[in-house]
């Protein structure tokens, strides 16, 4: 990702907050250090970090961020991932936030042994828009 460390995105009743450098604040028990994605679908809010958050390498299309947002759904072993394509931006600290438009995909994975042969993921894609900014985090 070029230029931004905070993305605030929304669309189709969902909100996505991505903190490339974490949220900052005091370090202590339960605090999260490193990248953090918060996903809110209107009924549930999930914070993803550590092993539940994968940041892909920067590409010509942007950076792909994948978050595990739901484990063990109705079917044991099933899970839901959120994939967001974060565009490169060129905000300057004095500029504040810049407007961005991008896409997100919810991927629902089902385990093979439970339901038999077939496609293991189904996808729901949606457009999101919002802002990207450089922010200084509190210590």
What are the extents of the domains in the chain?
Answer: 6-133
Q: 91 or 20: which carries more pLDDT confidence?
A: 20
| pTM of the shown model | 0.85
* Residues forming beta bridges with residue 53, ordered by sequence position: 67
Task: Determine the distance from the C-alpha atom of residue 31 to the mean position of all C-alpha atoms in its chain, rounded to a whole number.
Answer: 18
The three-class DSSP label of residue 113 is helix
Q: What angle do CA 41, 64, 131 make, to 5 degrees?
A: 60
pLDDT of residue 3: 81
Q: Which two tokens stand for residue 109?
A: 């994975």
Greatest mean pLDDT among 1-10, 111-120, 126-135 lies in 126-135
pLDDT of 24 over the 70 cut:
no
Which of 134, 56, 136, 127 lies closest to 90, judged by CA?
134
The domain defined by 6-133 carries CATH number 2.40.128: yes
C-alpha distances out from residue 69 to 10, 24, 30, 37, Å:
16, 22, 19, 10
Q: Which two tokens stand for residue 70?
A: 């739901």
Neighbouring CB atoms inside 10 A of 30's CB total: 4
């Amino acid at each position: 990702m070029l230029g931004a460390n905070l993305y605030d995105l929304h669309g189709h009743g969902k909100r996505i907050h991505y903190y490339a450098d974490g949220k900052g604040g005091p370090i202590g028990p339960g605090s999260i250090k490193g990248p953090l994605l918060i996903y809110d679908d209107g009924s549930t809010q999930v914070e993803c970090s550590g092993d539940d958050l994968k940041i892909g390498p920067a590409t010509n299309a942007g950076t792909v961020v994948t978050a595990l947002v739901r484990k063990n759904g109705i079917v044991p072993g099933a899970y839901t991932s959120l994939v967001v394509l974060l565009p490169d931006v060129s905000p300057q600290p004095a500029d504040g936030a810049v407007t961005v438009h991008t896409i997100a995909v919810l991927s629902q994975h089902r385990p093979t042994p439970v339901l038999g042969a077939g496609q293991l993921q189904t996808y729901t894609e949606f457009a999101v828009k919002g802002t990207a900014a450089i922010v200084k985090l509190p210590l």
